[in-house]
Amino acid sequence: MSEDALQLDDVVVIGGGIIGLSSAYYLNKAGHHVTVVDQSNLDAGASYVNAGYLSPSHLIPLSAPGVMKKGLKWMFNPASPLYIKPRFDLDFLRWSWAFNKSCNLKHVQKAAPVIRDISLLSQELMTDIKKDPSFTFHYQKKGLFMLCQTEKMLEEELEVAKYAVELGLAAKEVSRLEIQQMEPDVNINAIGAAYFECDHHSTPQEFMTELKAYLTNAGVNIYANEKVLDIVLKGTSQVTLTAGKHWIAAKQPGVLLNIVTTYAWTGSGYVVPSAAAKAGVLALTRSLAVEWAKYGIRSNAIAPGPFPTEGAWSRLLPGDLVKKFDPAKKVPVGRVGVHQELANLAAYLISDFSAYVNGDVITIDGGEWLKGAGEFNNLEMIPQEMWDMMEASRGKKP
């Protein structure tokens, strides 16, 4: 897709699974021009083949006490309920470590009400979509049996049902006879069940097919077989060119502000693709600062140092690594950034207060990159007594 295909008020949704298409549905209803881009043909995958349950009953998160022990056994059996191919890969080890850490009761108690609320909201939204006469997909609100063949299993499921009731959901125990009465055409091979009356189900293939047809009719552009790659450099250049061409045609001044990084000009080991892409964004920023100044368009960049965000921090430095490689220790001012400081700088750079700043990159990192660059900066590790000794040996009084 070229930048010409985009307009400024477009919303682009990357990924046309159930999350992407449902987001497109509501964005379209809210009056946005929506484009969905998906690397597949949009006719297969988890969103098409799942069991179709909207089940608040599944309120125990996957990372629960005891799962890691089971998971280790499951890991070596491709037919197990949770098969994860074991591999010696740093990302996988990090993930396993973090997963193991969250397999505790506190995590379950924190997550369960959130999972319940997301499921209840999904049911509400599905009911809302189903009301639209364009949709005829199968959607039923008749609950879910968790059938059990052993006393132990039944006991475990009834524990979950009890917890679900505590959280305000409709669930109860049913005997084999009761199940048989409710499902007379099915041969029941179970001693009993937990019956979660709160659950709904649909047929995902039908739903996804109808949703795609609805969106196409509603004017949503759906690009199949388009893989979104190279977000940093290509994404920035496409958005920049789209905005810039629009401003130039409308004879309207504008300000471009890109976010790069402090290794955009030095490069950095272990993040080669990121360093190369950010260096490209910086070159784009500076080149257009000259070329588009005559149209009243300024172009600048910010190079932030460490500003913690939960997602980035937990992925880059999971668990105790954050203590071992505490980013604040690399910053001369002795701390990481506060988001408001970044916002203040961005607000300044897009405002007219910075009207004479063009083609520059402003670093906001507490001096971090310079500390790494100066040849003798690590002399700060020398203790005061040693400085005193050196001064004394040069004949200066300590």
Ligand X SMILES: Cc1cc2nc3c(=O)[nH]c(=O)nc-3n(C[C@H](O)[C@H](O)[C@H](O)COP(=O)(O)OP(=O)(O)OC[C@H]3O[C@@H](n4cnc5c(N)ncnc54)[C@H](O)[C@@H]3O)c2cc1C
What's the one-letter identity of residue 109?
Q
Binding of ligand X by 18 (CB under 6 A)? yes
| N residues, the chain | 398
Comparing every residue's Cβ against ligand X, the nearest one is 17
Any idea what DSSP says for residue 10? Answer: E
Restricting to residues 219-258, which ones interact with ligand X according to CB under 6 A? 227-228
What does the block give as tokens for 261?
A: 């990084």
Binding of ligand X by 45 (CB under 6 A)? yes
Closer by beta carbon to ligand X, 50 or else 268: 50
Q: Which stretch binds ligand X (CB under 6 A): 4-12, 43-51, 91-99, 235-243?
A: 43-51
Closer by beta carbon to ligand X, 105 or else 229: 229
Which uninterrupted H or E stretch holds 13?
strand 10-14
Binding of ligand X by 61 (CB under 6 A)? no
What does the block give as tokens for 211?
A: 């949703």
Among 6, 24, 35, 52, binds ligand X (CB under 6 A): 52
Q: How far apart are CA 297 and CA 290, in angstroms?
A: 9
CB of 201 to ligand X, least distance (A): 7
Binding of ligand X by 40 (CB under 6 A)? yes
**Is 284:240 a contact under the CB 8 Å cutoff?**
yes
Which 3-state string (H, E, C) describes 114-148?
HHHHHHHHHHHHHHHHHHCCCCCCCEECCCEEEEE
Binding of ligand X by 14 (CB under 6 A)? yes
Binding of ligand X by 50 (CB under 6 A)? yes
Binding of ligand X by 121 (CB under 6 A)? no
Closer by beta carbon to ligand X, 53 or else 265: 53
| CA neighbor of 149 nearest in space, from 194, 195, 189 | 189
Q: By rule CB under 6 A, what string of x and - marks binding of each residue 263-302 to ligand X?
A: ----------------------------------------
Q: Which stretch binds ligand X (CB under 6 A): 15-23, 103-111, 213-221, 378-386?
A: 15-23
Closer by beta carbon to ligand X, 5 or else 355: 5
Reduce the DSSP state of residue 386 to 3 states and report it: helix
Closer by beta carbon to ligand X, 194 or else 345: 194
Size of the site for ligand X (CB under 6 A): 21
**Is 153:201 a contact under the CB 8 Å cutoff?**
no
CA separation, residue 47 to residues 11, 20, 84, 223 (Å): 22, 10, 20, 17
Closer by beta carbon to ligand X, 138 or else 227: 227
Q: Which stretch binds ligand X (CB under 6 A): 18-26, 176-184, 312-320, 389-397?
A: 18-26
Binding of ligand X by 15 (CB under 6 A)? yes
CB of 14 to ligand X, least distance (A): 5
Q: Which stretch binds ligand X (CB under 6 A): 17-25, 253-261, 306-314, 366-374?
A: 17-25
- Does 348 qualify as catalytic in the annotation? no
Among 6, 24, 34, 37, binds ligand X (CB under 6 A): 37
Q: How far apart are CA 273 and CA 261, in angstroms?
A: 13
Residue among 48, 163, 223, 263 flagged as catalytic = 263
Reduce the DSSP state of residue 301 to 3 states and report it: strand
Q: How far apart are CA 129 and CA 218, in angstroms?
A: 14
Q: Which residues are catalytic?
A: 263
Residues that bind ligand X (CB under 6 A): 14-20, 37-40, 45-47, 49-53, 227-228
